[in-house]
Structure 1
Amino acid sequence: MKIISFGDIHENLSNLIHLENDLKSADLIIVTGDLTNYNGREEAEKVIEEIMRYNKNILAQPGNLDQPEVNDYLTEKGINLHGNGFIKDNIGIFGVGGSNLTPFKTPTEFSENEIETFLLEGFDKVKDAEFKIMVPHMPPKETKLDIISAGFHVGSQSVRDFISKYKPDIVLSGHIHEARGSDIIENTALFNAGMFQQGGYVIITENPEGLSAELKVLA
């Protein structure tokens, strides 16, 4: 199985054409959040439909800069990862969209308790899968993936605690554009692909030993 993941699109899909071969050959596309730039259903629909021109097998969730109606749209499409889970072959994929609370009062934010609840709801649907991919739009706290330009860690403690307790194989996040990179918590591989406009994406493949993942950046 081959999975391509990216996020923080903010309505800019100019890099899709450069990923055409990977997108068309993938078994699944995962969008980690922030389809729009403070916008709603109409703009989110345009983003999803454009990605589906390359591959119709997609799971997505709202980010903190998406209006709440984006969540409703993705649910109606049957592709929403937020507080939800899907099993594809033997891989369970579950997520939480939005972000932990910020000083900016963005459209979709949650308390740490709410984040934990959404993760538990999604995990419950995939708990029997052999492998698990966790997709929190916000990265786990105190990692390489949650450092803003001022040097502070602003990720979610609930996300980090959940990783330590339930030990998913791979975690795909975004949200903090300037913290594109990879990290690890115990045996869980962590990735933040950064802003899609800047060319970051993750390729996940299944092999006999399990799941492997690589962060890539378009030249």
Structure 2
Amino acid sequence: MFRILHVSDIHCSLDNLEEVVEAERGNFDVLAITGDICCNSRLRRILSTTGSKVLAVTGNMDDIHIARLLRDYGWLLDGRVEVIGKYVIAGVGGLQPVQDVARLEELLPKALTRESILIVLAHHPIHGYLDVTFAGVHAGLYETKKLVDHFKPHVYLHGHIHEARGVAHYANTLLVNPGPLAHGYYAMIEMDDSGNAHAELRSL
């Protein structure tokens, strides 16, 4: 079983990040952060002590300092692909999502095999799913939906729309918005070697 601890929209609540990492310690293979970290004062120390792989994409409210720290420690996944066994994990950040999608369209055909299980970490939702704001507007991206249509990932993890916390399916892709960690929300995703996935929404 492959387990992903998924957090998003931290918004400087690094106490909550530290608490959830400690609460789930030893229970996950990858810590996936899908943007809007916003502060980096204790970030390196917290992420360096998870005991598991850390992969993160930027959010639209993150800045170059956050991106640089994540990049310097090998955690930044914006426009990149990371392979862990048969799991191929691709990232679409919130700072330059259109450019990241274009880069992944080049990288993924080289990284994927028939046995690959594809996971996408993105800050923005795909358009039309888990993307409705309080104003009733669909705020997801057409570009990321096109990426999902093309590569058909098993799992698509995102955040951004705080009020759209939930789990949904688009075709055969499991979509997960864990809700903002700033409010104590996160998710645990379990996958088997065939790519079957289950997500559980949790809170501190």
TM-score, reference length from structure 2:
0.88
Q: What's the counterpart of residue 76 of structure 1? A: 72
Distance 2:190 2:111 in 1: 19
Distance 1:130 1:109, change over 3 A: closer
Q: What's the counterpart of residue 127 of structure 2? A: 141
Q: What's the counterpart of residue 49 of structure 1? A: 45
Structure 1 gaps of 5+ residues are 37-42, 99-107
Q: What's the counterpart of residue 65 of structure 1? A: 61
Distance 2:87 2:96 in 1: 28
Distance 1:211 1:196 in 2: 25
Distance 2:119 2:70 in 1: 19
Cα distance, 1:61 vs structure 2: 1.8
Q: What's the counterpart of residue 104 of structure 1? A: none
Runs of 4+ residues over 6 Å off in structure 1: none
Opposite residue 25 of structure 2, the aligned amino acid is L
Distance 1:175 1:146 in 2: 8
* Number of aligned positions between the proteins: 201
User: Cα RMSD over matched residues?
Assistant: 2.1
Opposite residue 64 of structure 1, the aligned amino acid is N
Opposite residue 14 of structure 2, the aligned amino acid is L
State the identity %: 28
Q: What's the counterpart of residue 13 of structure 2? A: 12
Distance 2:128 2:46 in 1: 35
Greater RCO structure (CA 8 Å; 6+ sep)? 2
Cα distance, 1:56 vs structure 2: 4.6
Contact 1:82 1:118 survives alignment (8 Å):
no
Distance 2:53 2:9 in 1: 19
1:1-219 equivalent positions in 2, closer than 5 A: 1-15=2-16, 16-18=18-20, 20-36=22-38, 43-44=39-40, 46-98=42-94, 108-110=95-97, 112=98, 114-121=99-106, 123-124=108-109, 126-128=111-113, 130-143=116-129, 145-218=130-203
Opposite residue 3 of structure 1, the aligned amino acid is I
Distance 1:177 1:125, change over 3 A: farther
TM-score, reference length from structure 1:
0.82
